[in-house]
Structure 1
């Protein structure tokens, strides 16, 4: 138990609203391997506490009465934490692209988005040990396979690698390079992976796919679609035309964020 606490990923919340602290703390408590530490309700207070507490993950509200979250990032000379901005307005999330921000959570924050974002940040942090951080069940249960043993008795696919994913299609094991994927569509507890005009069916929730695909290449356009940013031809209104001539809807709430990711060079 002591070793688990020592290896826990510490999470700090900076938000001027008490309900925001309550919700995020509840989510943190539900994830084994995450540990909440003392938070802050004002930007100035955060400037004092962050260098001392050195959180691994920082949930930082953009709008606060004294200093905005972005201003806090401006004033912090050194920051080792992975920053996740929280905001009720997607345009502030767009502003965050000028900073070393690892993720965004739009309020109201739902647990599905929380775990997807935190899991993606976990993948980016070398300091987090897999044995200390296990995603909440059943979100990620049963979709990874031990390739050395070859045991697929529980249908543990897909497997995600650096540049490819391995899926099971009609009893066959198929490797799909991320670059070949046009977009992914979610449907209940499975997804449809579009590779040009070819469609592969994979038994995995869309929320898990969102957390596992590389965020540098893929963009979530709404709750049911993830697109390859290099496979889109044009965007008109709230629709994206992909290079396989399919059109994908873009949520009004996410449109500004999608545009920012399409034009972001970092």
Structure 2
């Protein structure tokens, strides 16, 4: 059986509450991968060509560079763009810039899902029919004792290395499997996962807070940042990449 690849998404919003709400809504839809989050259009600008998301959830009113200005300058191929703002007067400008939908804050999960339905239709219209190809490391096969678990890579929050074993943490379970940290890291997308010390690999979408030299994850776990990794991790966090 070939599984359809998850849709990748980027959230750009300068308000933490809005970021967290969108992150929660994205997490409720199983066909959406955990999002990459930026707190400004300026911070996102240099990363979008490498990330090439399917979906861009874009706030309009932001300092330095507005969402509308970013939208106008997006190169082809463009992601599906859903604008989010508290100001209804931006709707016309958004649709003039070929936004797929416009969400007026505050919006419900039901309204969010309607926008994502439009996104799916838009992406389907942009892509010619083709034989489905599984994405690399889309599903990991993890052996624990005599049982083999099928774990979508997008569901992994944290990987903890323990010599010749690793603990793989998802939202619902912890799996102990006989594999090296190097091998499992090579199976996971570098853009989505962040090495924070020799023993921990963290999904960027699972990070909710930085407390000193500790990262707090969505499942409540706290992960220490190694000395040699602190500069790189802080650079990503202060640049808005989570």
TM-score, normalised with respect to structure 1: 0.45
Q: Which structure's relative contact order is higher, taking Cα pairs within 8 Å and 6+ residues apart?
A: 2
TM-score, normalised with respect to structure 2: 0.49
